[in-house]
Chains A and B, each alone.
Chain A
Amino acid sequence: MTKTIFLQKDTNCAVALSSNIDIILSPEFYWVRLFDIPIASKKEALGVVPNLFEDFFDIEGYKFYIIKLEEYKYLCFAYKEQDVLDGLKSANIDFKKVNNIYFAQNEFIGKIDDKAILMDENKFIYQDDVFIKIPSTLGLIIESVDFDISNIVLSKHKISINQSSKYIDTSSAYILSSIFIVFSLVIFFKTYTINKITNQYPIKIEQLKKDYHLMSSMIQTKSLLKQYQKVSKKYENTRGVLQYLINFKQKTSGKLESIEFKNGVMYGYFTNSNLNNMKIYIEKRYKISSSSFKNGIVKIGIKI
């Protein structure tokens, strides 16, 4: 349920309010004036209202609200959001609970006739169609009636206040937010594209597996590759030993009769050669596993 409060500068709600609240601003919080503006559009008319008020007070920090009464005739309001916020604070009203804010000017028309009404020890009256607060000195001699504000039917003319207005105004917030959203969308789209590319890599890997006839699991492939590397290393050694045996003539005399490689041992058979010289030659690079001299043949074995 929504409660209505008539907010004055000296209002004080001693008990914290639990329900939502509609606020009616007393005339202390706003300026009101009837202007003849030769502009048909209400929106365009609002644009010139600050200049019209400028003749009466410094409009710095003021916000404006207008009601079109008839063609080229506007009821214009000027108010400071910060004043309203301060008023709410001093009245001990939580801004978060405020639903709508109304101007008293519009809310009592046709409800109090020409009578003065008493609101929290202050008296108010319509004078020349403007709702005013009666000065306390005059208030004593003017009779007033009590007015029950709880059942009042409020008009459609309301204002909203953004508490953060002192940090950023609404239009700047919208512009900045739009820029951020556009950037975010661009980045999100780029991220989507990146993810799409990323998701293709597992498919590419699967294709690679097929193209290169890889084993089903990486462990199997790596294990086999390890075996291949082992064989490759062994091959390098075999090749090296074979080449070294063939090139023996560069260092020593003799004739290579035959080469035999079995069970991981390479044997070289030499004739017209000296066993010691041959051993010296071989041991320069490899370890001899067996050596012999029989029937004029030098036999050298190298373990691979």
Chain B
Amino acid sequence: MKNINPLFLTISCIMILFIAIFSQDSAKNNLELQKKEFEEFKLLAVKYKTQKQSWSDKKVITNTIQKILKSSGIKNANIIQKDKLIIVQMVSLNITQIQKFINNLLNEKINIKKLDLTNNKIILNIGLL
């Protein structure tokens, strides 16, 4: 210890300090990068989940249809579920029910594959992804 050159010692400690500062800076940048990546990923995940529910989730879509039917006052609808398709058949409808149904349908996200609308019946095919 006695023979350590004080200038060498001081310079070495300054270098250690610089290394510490540099490594902290690098760690901070890495953290920011990871944070950003995580936030982007989270956003993507939320987007994915929302989209999946709207276009792929049979349960969610069926619930949406039932909600529309209920608020349109349609009770005698026939819902047929197939692999990638949900068919909703409504007959003996009055104009009010049709108008309400269409209005409600326009306010929901539904992948309309086929629509047959007359003045007393609606046949709606909803596609699933």
Contact = CB atoms under 8 A, between A and B. Distances in A.
Given A163-B5, A173-B10, A191-B24, A235 B112 contact: yes
B70 interface: no
B41 A208 contact: yes
B60 interface: no
A231 B37 CA distance: 27
Contacts of A160: 2-3
Interface of A: 160, 162-165, 167-170, 172-174, 176-177, 180-181, 183-185, 187-188, 190-191, 194-195, 197-198, 201-202, 204-205, 208-209, 211-214, 221-222, 224-225, 227-229, 231-232, 234-235, 238-239, 242-243, 246, 257-262, 266
Contacts of A228: 48, 51-52, 54-56, 129
A242 B6 contact: no
B102 A242 contact: yes
A227 B129 contact: yes
A258 B119 contact: yes
Contact of B31 (A185, A197, A231): A197
Contacts of A195: 27, 30
A239 B117 contact: no
Interface string B26-45: 01101100110110011011
B41 A176 contact: no
Contacts of A221: 44, 48
Contacts of A208: 38, 41-42, 45
Interface stretch (B12-20, B61-69, B72-80): B12-20
Given A235-B112, A238-B112, A260 B24 contact: no
A232 B109 contact: yes
B81 interface: no
A231 B46 CA distance: 17
B41 A260 contact: no
B83 interface: no
8 contacts: A162-B7, A173-B10, A181-B13, A187-B23, A194-B30, A228-B54, A260-B117, A266-B115
